[in-house]
């Protein structure tokens, strides 16, 4: 099992999660295919039958579903944008409230301005929209927690 997990992490998982925050803009049918692939990989690695619960397999392998990991990746991009550690093209798509308005509010330096869209199928699933909505839905406590964890991870605490 250890060798299969190592192979999965090095060859399959790296491809699945390469730019996963962008992949989640596709339709739900394609996201379902990626999740099925992840479930199949969990069954093969664990040597389980087709009827085994994927939740138990994911817990045993300490995995998160693909779409949950992509949410974390989007939050990481949003956090890096707040800290100014992203390329210029990302700064243009993720605008902070404080850049647009000169009112100093509690969340002006941590919330993003969500781009306008007509329908979910016409821009509502784009990277900028979903990242802004996801980040702005976090409570201030979670943003502070992410800030603390990021400092600890980088060793600047």
Compute, in degrees rounded to 10, the torsion defined by CA atoms 54, 60, 62, 66: -10
pLDDT for 148 equals 59
Helices (H), 20-113: 20-23, 28-46, 54-61, 66-83, 88-93, 97-100
What are the average pLDDT values for consecutive 10-residue runs of the chain, which has 157 residues?
A: 85 79 77 89 91 92 87 86 85 81 71 78 78 84 65 48
pLDDT at 157: 41
Domain ranges across the chain: 2-63, 71-154
Please give the Cα distance from 109 to 106 (Å, whole number). 8
Are the CB atoms for 46 and 58 separated by under 8 Å?
no
Half-sphere exposure in the Cβ direction for 15 (13 Å, CA): 7
Do residues 145 and 151 make contact, with C-beta atoms less than 8 angstroms apart?
A: no
């Amino acid at each position: 099992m250890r060798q299969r997990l190592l192979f999965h992490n090095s060859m399959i998982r790296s491809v699945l999660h390469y730019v996963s925050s962008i992949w989640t803009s596709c339709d739900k049918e394609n996201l379902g295919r990626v999740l099925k692939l992840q479930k199949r990989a969990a069954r093969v690695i664990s040597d389980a039958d087709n009827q085994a619960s994927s939740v138990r397999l994911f817990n045993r392998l300490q995995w998160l579903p693909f779409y949950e990991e992509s949410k974390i990746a989007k939050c990481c991009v949003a956090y890096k944008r707040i800290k100014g550690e992203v390329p210029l093209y990302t700064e243009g798509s993720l605008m902070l409230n404080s850049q647009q308005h000169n009112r100093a509010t509690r969340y002006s330096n941590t919330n993003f301005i969500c781009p306008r869209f007509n329908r979910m199928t016409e821009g509502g699933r784009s990277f900028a929209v979903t990242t802004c909505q996801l980040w702005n839905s976090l409570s201030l406590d979670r943003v502070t927690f992410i800030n603390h964890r990021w400092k600890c991870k980088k060793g600047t605490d």
